[in-house]
Amino acid sequence: MERSYGLLLLIIKTLAIIHIVQAQSQQGYITLDCGLPANEPSPYKEDSTGLQFSSDATFIQSGKPGTIQPSLASRYIKPYTTLRSFPNGTRNCYNLRVEKGRNHLIRARFLYGNYDGLDNNPTFDLYLGPNPWATIDLHKRVNGTKQEIVHIPTSNTLQVCLVKTGTTTPVISTLEIRPMGKDSYSTQSGSLNLHFREYYSESKTPLRYPNDDYDRQWTAFFSENWTQLSTTSDVGNTNEYNPPKAALATAAIPTNASEPLTIYWSNPEKPDDQYYVYRHFAEIQNLRSNETREFNMVWNGELLPSDPIIPRELEIITIYSVAPKTCPEGECYFQLKRTNRSTLPPLLNAIEVYTVIEFPQSETNENEVVAIKNIEATYGLSRINWQGDPCVPQDLRWDALNCSHVDLSTPPRITSLNLSSSGLSGHIAAAIQNLTQLEKLDLSNNNLTGEVPEFLGNMKLLLVINLSGNDLSGSIPQSLQRKGIKLALEGNPRIFPTSGSPGKTHKKSLLVPIVASVGSVAILIAALVLYLVLRKKKQPTVKVVDPPPSMPTVNVTYGHSPEPSIEMKKRRFAYSEVIQMTNNFERVVGEGGFGVVCHGTVNGSQQVAVKLLSQSSTQGYKEFKAEVDLLLRVHHTNLVSLVGYCDEGENLALIYEFVPNGDLRQHLTGKGGKSVINWGIRLRIAVEAALGLEYLHIGCTPPMVHRDVKTTNILLDEHYKVKLADFGLSRSFPIGGETHVSTVVAGTPGYLDPEYYHTGRLGEKSDVYSFGIVLLEIITNQPVIDRNRRNSHITQWVGSELNGGDIAKIMDPNLHGDYDSHSAWRALELAMSCADPTSARRPTMSHVVIELKECVVAENSRRNMSPRMDSLSSTEVSTTFDSGMIPTAR
């Protein structure tokens, strides 16, 4: 059945405005000159189209740049004279940020140009995610070729992969992504592969951007049996398809008015292809009162069941088939035949013909893709084959993984992860627990430290865990004491059995008992009692003095000193010991809502910060206990460590590791003599703060919500390493199956999640909102709330500035423009997404971490240096851009 669409005048005007703005700004465009040399400017403006081409060096971690032979370069414009080749690895992938559920034009061009002097045109496969897209045969297409589809992504990440199939090396010249209208180019199934796109004019001038808002490329075509019509009047082109006005200003009619207008093409190599055809009509002839133009459409001799077409005067009509059509033996005839009452021949302005291309293989479960990439980033893994989809196609599956495969429509799941002897260091990655279908985990023979995490035992399908040959410490969690788990811990001398007695080594394969020995518990209790008695006898007599009086609330700041190496166990201190360690509270280094913070030393050398509860404090024992309880059970490099605490009557104190370099707010503003940090350090700080929050959300059991994320609670050591602090308002989530944590709203104005404020329902996304505000501060260095601004809240101010499309007006002027604009835009979009008023639309902290790490990679690439930030030293997947191509003849 055939359908035609028209829009109300108001909608037409609105869309017209949107299209004009888009055409001017190239908003949402991804335009990549692949292999652009690092010494050439990026982005640059291509003169014939005005398109802004960017280098792909920032967005792909593999491949080598090249330039076609100088003797050929004069035949091509600049984007096609460079290329990126992929001599290493079987599959190399670009990762593109797109809008899930929206149509996108995806276009890539390939030109060999004898860049390597071997005169050996390559053949290779092109994939879209896990699915084959096309075979690129540059033996047949020595002058280059292109591939173009209209596709609706099923996630916000799109992967375009080049796959080596023989001995020759894959190459790519340009890559483009163009977001399109959401209600256009619909299909019953599959995506649309461009066969040809034409407008009918004798001019022979191709059309694309800026004439076409979506940067479709239109070839001018005309037959000797046709006559051209044209107009200088403005032709309304606004509908769901929005073809260029210039394409509608001309049209073809048959010279013999009694003959049909015939469009013919053949595709004998693929006779079973299915076609979608989009025909664009506009009456551009000034008809007399006695003239009529009316015609029917015929497909391969069959009259299509639709009403006769009567083109509108100077206004577009687009007709398309709801169902795809086939052609006998690949020979296709589309005809327009005048009706008996028509006085004029049929007319056609432009046409688009696509074939159906199916992408049936589902991508790996999206949450597990995020998890495995987070694991990759945490450990700084750099494996050439860890590109593209982790599980599919099966012959290109990432090494170290096994996956389950049910059918094409079911997303594969990761069932086994083997990172044995991979040079891993640090703690066991919290993201592992998001691989919920994991059955086997092998992290043996690495340099992992810290404790065996509780979450491993909570993964119900995980029954084989090999942690041998590391430097793990502590006891075995209760969750791993269930029957059936095979836990290997050999070669971890600091691991001690569940009884708590160190010094005992484990066998190669250890089945953990379900319950601990009652006798060992009794021994522990007796030992604890003896320790307390002996310590009380040894305590010296100390004169008790009152702590300094409380002062008005200011930011907590710490003085300058080297980072302590505190390895002592967290313990309870007597108040007399607190007096000793602070030398009678001699040096006050800051103050917060809890009370004053004093500098101190433990054992005469290890520096600590001692936070004392003031009697006039707005916080009380409940917050004190919450912070102690939380910090006693969390262990993460980006959370401030609790050395111990004092709980003696009305004397309450928390003893932390000493963080000497102040808080993030000071380093954004330069106050307190602090230096203003550059964009690269800001991104690193953002990542580390996000990693700390991610650990609270998914690495703790039960998960934790910080509830007071702000720049003054992000402390920095002398190397600008983040220590997230102040957990007095933190809460476990959920509590006893309740749907929210607390009906009492708490937090800092400006950072407070508006949804939590109105409903009292607290979840992890409340922290995400607060982090979004922090990220906006990092980007803009604007106050969160400024009553002197017309838009007082920072989200309102940024939103109003975004309308101008100039990021320079949003970025902190103290950066003096020294930043990668792509990473800046990406961070800004992420911040606004985090600060969305609706929690369901906010990303998770795991997603935030991945996004920010990609921003770091972009900024580091700009500075021509490799990432070097502890857990950030990974070759993160990255967003890639693509660029247009010259249409091939049909």
759-776 average pLDDT score: 91
Tens digits of per-residue pLDDT, 74-103? 889 999 999 999 999 999 999 998 998 899
Q: Looking at residue 506, what is its pLDDT?
A: 44
Residue from 644, 595, 626 nearest 727 by CA: 626
Judged against a pLDDT cut of 80, whether residue 639 lies above it is answered with: yes
pLDDT at residue 802 in the model: 86
Question: Which one is catalytic: 215, 442, 663, 708?
Answer: 708
Is the predicted pLDDT of residue 510 greater than 70, yes or no? no
Q: State the average pLDDT over residues 244-257.
A: 97
Percent of the chain with pLDDT over 90: 55
Residue 793 or 882, more confident? 793
Mean pLDDT over the full length of the chain:
83
At 759 the pLDDT is 80
Residue 619's pLDDT is what?
A: 57
Predicted local distance difference test score (pLDDT) of residue 498? 55
Give the pLDDT mean for 375-382: 90
Half-sphere exposure of 662 (CA within 13 A, CB side): 16
Q: Determine the 3-state secondary structure of 774 from DSSP.
A: helix
Residue 13: its pLDDT value, please? Answer: 37
Closest CA to 510 of 449, 465, 475: 465
CB distance 490 to 471 below 8 Å: no
Interatomic CA distance for residues 297 and 274, integer angstroms = 18
| Amino acid (one-letter) located at 23 | A
Determine which helix (DSSP H) or strand (DSSP E) holds 520, and give its type and residue range. helix 518-538
For helices 679-694 and 845-862, what crossing angle results, to 10°? 160
Per-residue pLDDT band for 707 (boundaries 50, 70, 90) equals confident
The CATH code of the domain at 34-190 is 2.60.120.430
Beta strands in 477-605 (DSSP E): 486-488, 494-496, 510-511, 571-572, 588-591, 596-602
| Residue 5 exposed, middle or buried by CB count within 10 Å (0-12, 13-18, 19+) | middle
Taking phi over 0 as left and psi of -120 to 50 as alpha, with beta for the rest, 123 belongs to: beta
pLDDT of amino acid 762: 81
612-637 pLDDT, tens digit per residue, is: 876 655 556 667 776 677 677 677 88
pLDDT tens-digit map of 823-872: 999 999 999 999 999 988 999 999 999 999 989 888 887 765 433 333 33
Q: The CATH number of 366-511 is which of 3.40.50.1400, 3.30.70.920, 3.80.10.10, 1.10.3860.10?
A: 3.80.10.10
**CATH for 664-872?**
1.10.510.10
Burial 607-635 (b: 16+ CB within 10 A, else e): bbbbbbbbeebebeeebbebbbebbeebb
What distance in Å separates the CA atoms of residue 377 and residue 109, rounded to the nearest whole number?
31
pLDDT over 70 (residue 8): no
Interval 365-391 mean pLDDT: 92
Q: What is the pLDDT of residue 729?
A: 62
User: Given this chain, do its domains 571-657 and 664-872 carry the same CATH topology?
Assistant: no
pLDDT more than 70, % of the chain? 81
Contacts of 763 (CB under 8 A, 6+ apart): 705, 733, 740, 741, 756, 839
Three-state secondary structure call for residue 174: strand
At the fourth CATH level, the homologous superfamily of domain 571-657 is Phosphorylase Kinase; domain 1 (3.30.200.20)
Cα→Cα distances 664→330, 357, 548, 880, Å: 66, 51, 26, 32
| Dist. CA 370–CA 536, nearest whole Å | 52
Q: Mean pLDDT throughout 381-395? A: 93
Q: Is 164 annotated as a binding residue?
A: no
Question: Higher pLDDT residue, 240 or 550?
Answer: 240
Q: What digits encode the pLDDT tens for the residues 298-327?
A: 999 999 988 899 999 999 999 998 899 999
Q: What is the pLDDT of residue 612?
A: 85
Q: What angle do CA 491, 494, 498 make, to 5 degrees?
A: 100
- Tell me which range, 434-443, 713-722, 782-791, is most confidently predicted by mean pLDDT: 434-443
H helix count then E strand count, the chain: 15, 45
CA 238 – CA 10 distance, rounded (Å): 11
Which range has the worst mean pLDDT, 252-266, 570-584, 677-691? 570-584
Mean pLDDT along residues 276-302? 96
User: Which helix (H) or strand (E) is 821 found in, with range?
Assistant: helix 821-834
Most confident of the following: 56-60, 205-209, 699-703: 205-209
Q: How far apart are CA 878 and CA 94, in angstroms?
A: 7
783, two tokens? 């106050």
State the pLDDT confidence band at 522, using cuts at 50, 70 and 90.
Answer: very low
Confidence at residue 455, expressed as pLDDT on a 0 to 100 scale:
93
At 869 the pLDDT is 37
Helix axes 679-694 and 764-780, enclosed angle (nearest 10): 170
CA–CA gap between residue 594 and residue 613 (Å, rounded): 5
User: What is the rounded average pLDDT of the residues 330-351?
Assistant: 97
| pLDDT of the residue at 11 | 35
Upstream peptide bond of 702 is cis (omega within 30 degrees of 0)? yes
In sign, the C-alpha dihedral spanning 811, 815, 819, 823 is negative
Q: Which two tokens stand for residue 793?
A: 């809240």
Q: How confident is the model at residue 706 (pLDDT cuts 50, 70, 90)?
A: confident
The pair of three-digit structure tokens given for residue 308, joined into one six-digit string: 């006769």
Q: What is the pLDDT of residue 763?
A: 84
Closest by Cα among 278, 225, 290, 291 to 247: 278
Tell me how far the alpha carbon of residue 321 is from its chain's centroid.
36
pLDDT at 559 over 60: no
Higher pLDDT, 660 or 248: 248
* Domain range annotation of the chain: 34-190, 235-357, 366-511, 571-657, 664-872
From the options 1.10.3470, 3.40.50, 1.25.40, 2.60.120, give the CATH code of 235-357.
Answer: 2.60.120
Residue 641: its pLDDT value, please? 83
Residue 813 has pLDDT above 70, yes or no: yes
Distance CA 794, CA 226 (A): 61
More confident of the two residues 109 and 545: 109
pLDDT reading at 5 higher than 60: no
pLDDT of residue 382: 85
Report pLDDT for 662.
85
To the query of whether residue 119 is one of the catalytic residues in this protein, the response is no
What pLDDT score does 872 carry? 32
Per-residue pLDDT reduced to its tens digit, 454-501:
999 999 999 999 999 999 999 999 888 877 899 999 999 998 865 444
pLDDT band at 594 (very low <50, low <70, confident <90, very high): low
- The more confident residue out of 804 and 9 is 804
Q: Quote the pLDDT of residue 183.
A: 81
Q: What is the model's pLDDT at position 723?
A: 92
DSSP string, 317-374: EEEEESS-B--GGGEEEEEEEE-TT-SB---B-EEEEEEEE---SPPS-HHHHHHHHH
pLDDT of residue 513: 40
Closest CA to 31 of 754, 801, 888, 882: 882
Half-sphere exposure of 134 (CA within 13 A, CB side): 21
- What does the chain come to in residues? 890
Name the pLDDT band for 275 (thresholds 50, 70, 90). Answer: very high
Reported confidence tier of residue 726, pLDDT bands at 50, 70, 90? confident
Q: pTM of the full predicted structure?
A: 0.59
Q: Determine the pLDDT at residue 324.
A: 94
pLDDT digits (tens, 9 = 90+) for 159-171: 999 999 999 999 9
